């Protein structure tokens, strides 16, 4: 009796998981990840402790001691490097070997498509990706043992962001392997795509225009939202959209029996079909501030008033993007206004400066103008404490702030050097033992 399609897929899944576990590249990656995460964690705890000493002497500074930004985001920077630079090689080897050995042609004799084969490999990579969580879990446990505080919604958002980022990287690696003729070329294509996001981020930091819109789809920009503790439905769907696009194109290009021109036409058709989806995703504005200190939100009373602004609010900014005041304005005011004001229009005036540290030649440099309902206000302040009253005055609202719990911060002076034995020795030995155990079976 022939096997059913589901039974064949189960067998293939088990075989793919076994192939990944037998890969020396995987275990080398895990050992490197353990050492890098351990080093990042120890350094983050040391720097956090130094800042906490000052915060303990001056309690008004304690609110700035946030474990998410001080400990976990720097530590998970190790994950970002490994996911960007090393994880693609595991995927490239997984798919590239099937192409080079001829196993792909044999697998396609089974009643399964290239979509199903890539889907099996994707599920296998996800199962193995769970091993990646061991250093992360170790960090959380060590932080708790040191007396640190963990806000689970923040950590959950951070882990979700890295999971989605890994998914996108895996699918990009699948596509690179499918379209290239050899493994080195696939590696160059994959790294070129991911590193291109870095170049895009640097380019956007020095200008406006269409690059700003394109940067919204940068993998690093999307991940940065999760690192800040902000859950964005658009960011989640953007990651899934990017992963789906590369996954589908990889499956189309992987089939050896199709002509190259036919593959190109199919890919172009998919891109055309996916454009409306991308536009729809970009228009979504569902956000949830999961940070303990609600750093992405105004006072609830301010939010209710801003949502009632029925006419367009135009803000004209006379600041260059390199100016530190613009950075504060962007993160403390503009990004929050984008999420609550129904019709917000930002205008960036042309600014001419004589250099990075030189004064501007324009008398209006640094000015921020607000226009709403035929009324006009302006200010040189970039603080929400001064900007919000101006906006409420323009809208004719009188606001009484809601009572909210003040965030007191979590300063902690601790020494994490004792965890070196775990991250530098015991956990790598555990991975080596697991690798040897798998190869014996």
Residue range 50-94, pLDDT digits in tens: 999 888 888 778 888 999 999 999 999 999 999 998 999 888 888
User: What tokens were used for 19?
Assistant: 């192939």
Ramachandran sector of residue 374 (left: φ over 0; alpha: ψ -120 to 50; beta: rest): left
User: CA-CA distance, 213 to 147, in Å (whole number)?
Assistant: 42
Highest mean pLDDT among 10-19, 51-60, 147-156: 147-156
For residue 230, the surrounding DSSP H or E stretch is strand 230-232
Where does 247-387 show beta strands of DSSP type E? 287-289, 313-317, 344-348, 368-372, 375-379
Ramachandran sector of residue 96 (left: φ over 0; alpha: ψ -120 to 50; beta: rest): alpha
For residue 354, the 8-state DSSP code is S
β-pairing verdict for 344-348 and 313-317? parallel
* DSSP code per residue over 157-184: HHHHHHHHHHHHHHHHHHHHHHH-SSHH
User: CA-CA distance, 342 to 337, in Å (whole number)?
Assistant: 9
Mean of the pLDDT values across residues 220-235?
91
User: CA-CA distance, 226 to 240, in Å (whole number)?
Assistant: 14
Mean of the pLDDT values across residues 400-426?
90
Angle between helix axes 133-145 and 24-57 (nearest 10 degrees) is 30
Q: How many CA atoms lie within 13 A of 245 on its CB side?
A: 20
- Helix boundaries (H) for 22-113: 24-57, 67, 73-85, 87-101, 103-107
pLDDT digits (tens, 9 = 90+) for 157-216: 999 999 999 999 999 999 998 888 777 888 888 888 877 777 777 766 655 555 556 667
Q: What is the pLDDT of residue 209?
A: 54
**pLDDT at 355 exceeding the cut of 70:** no
User: CA-CA distance, 273 to 80, in Å (whole number)?
Assistant: 31
For residue 332, the 8-state DSSP code is I
The pair phi, psi for residue 203, each rounded to 5°, is: -65, -40
Mean of the pLDDT values across residues 34-47?
96
User: CA-CA distance, 132 to 413, in Å (whole number)?
Assistant: 28
Q: Could you tell me the pLDDT band of residue 354, with boundaries at 50, 70 and 90?
A: very low
Dihedral sign computed on CA atoms, order 371, 376, 381, 385: negative
Q: At 379, is the secondary structure helix, strand, or coil?
A: strand
What residues contact 347, with CB distance under 8 A and at least 6 apart? 314, 315, 316, 317
The structural domains of the chain, with segments of one domain joined by +, span 5-289+409-440, 300-395
Percent of the chain surpassing pLDDT 90: 37
Q: Which of 128-132, 178-182, 297-301, 316-320 is predicted with the least confidence, judged by mean pLDDT?
A: 178-182
- Are 408 and 63 in contact by the 8 Å Cβ rule? The answer is yes
User: CA-CA distance, 104 to 84, in Å (whole number)?
Assistant: 26
- Are 293 and 66 in contact by the 8 Å Cβ rule? The answer is yes
Domain 300-395: top CATH class: alpha beta
Give the global pTM. 0.89
Q: Which of 276, 247, 246, 251 is nearest to 263 (CA)?
A: 251
Q: Could you tell me the pLDDT band of residue 105, with boundaries at 50, 70 and 90?
A: confident
Q: What is the mean pLDDT of the chain?
A: 86
**Long-range pairs of 143-151 with CB within 8 A, sequence gap ≥ 24:** 143/41, 143/45, 143/67, 143/71, 146/45, 146/412, 146/414, 146/416, 147/412, 147/414, 148/67, 148/71, 148/410, 148/412, 148/414, 149/67, 149/410, 149/412, 150/67, 151/67, 151/68, 151/291, 151/292
Mean of the pLDDT values across residues 333-352?
86
User: What tokens were used for 143?
Assistant: 């932080």
Better pLDDT: 17 or 279: 17
């Amino acid at each position: 009796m022939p096997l059913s399609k589901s039974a064949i897929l189960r067998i293939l899944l088990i075989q793919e998981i076994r192939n990944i576990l037998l890969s020396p590249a995987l275990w080398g990656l895990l050992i490197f990840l353990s050492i890098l995460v351990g080093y990042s964690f120890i350094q983050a705890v040391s720097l956090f402790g130094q800042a906490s000493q000052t915060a303990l002497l001056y309690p008004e500074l304690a609110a700035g001691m946030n474990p998410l930004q001080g400990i976990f985001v720097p530590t998970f920077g190790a994950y970002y490097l490994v996911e960007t630079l090393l994880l693609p090689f595991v995927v490239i080897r997984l798919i590239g070997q099937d192409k080079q050995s001829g196993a792909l042609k044999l697998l396609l004799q089974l009643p399964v498509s290239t979509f199903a084969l890539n889907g099996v490999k994707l599920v296998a990579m996800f199962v193995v990706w769970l091993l990646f969580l061991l250093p992360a879990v170790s960090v959380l446990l060590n932080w708790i043992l040191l007396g640190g505080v963990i806000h689970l919604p923040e950590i959950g958002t951070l882990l979700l962001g890295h999971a989605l980022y890994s998914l996108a990287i895996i699918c990009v690696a699948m596509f690179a392997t499918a379209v290239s003729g050899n493994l080195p070329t696939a590696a160059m294509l994959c790294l070129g795509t991911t590193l291109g996001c870095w170049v895009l981020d640097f380019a956007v930091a020095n200008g406006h225009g269409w690059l700003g819109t394109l940067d919204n789809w940068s993998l690093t920009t999307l991940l940065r939202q999760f690192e800040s503790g902000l859950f964005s439905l658009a960011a989640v769907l953007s990651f899934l959209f990017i992963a789906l696009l590369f996954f589908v194109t990889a499956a189309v290009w992987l089939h050896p029996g199709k002509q190259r021109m036919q593959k190109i036409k199919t890919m172009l058709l998919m891109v055309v079909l996916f454009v409306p989806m991308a536009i729809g995703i970009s228009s979504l504005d569902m956000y949830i501030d999961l940070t303990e200190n609600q750093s992405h939100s105004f006072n609830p009373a301010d939010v209710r008033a801003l949502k009632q602004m029925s006419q367009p609010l135009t803000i004209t900014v006379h600041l260059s993007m390199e100016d530190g005041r613009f950075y504060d304005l962007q993160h403390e005011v503009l990004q929050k206004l984008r999420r609550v004001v129904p019709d917000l229009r930002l205008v960036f005036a042309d600014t001419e400066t004589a250099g990075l540290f030189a004064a501007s030649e324009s008398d209006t440099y640094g000015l921020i103008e607000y226009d709403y309902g035929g009324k006009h206000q302006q200010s040189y302040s970039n603080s929400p404490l001064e900007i919000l009253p101006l906006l409420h005055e323009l809208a004719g609202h009188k606001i009484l702030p809601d009572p909210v719990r003040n965030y007191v911060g979590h300063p902690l002076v601790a020494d994490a050097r004792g965890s070196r034995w775990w991250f530098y020795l015991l956990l790598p030995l555990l991975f080596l033992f697991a690798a040897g155990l798998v190869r014996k079976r």
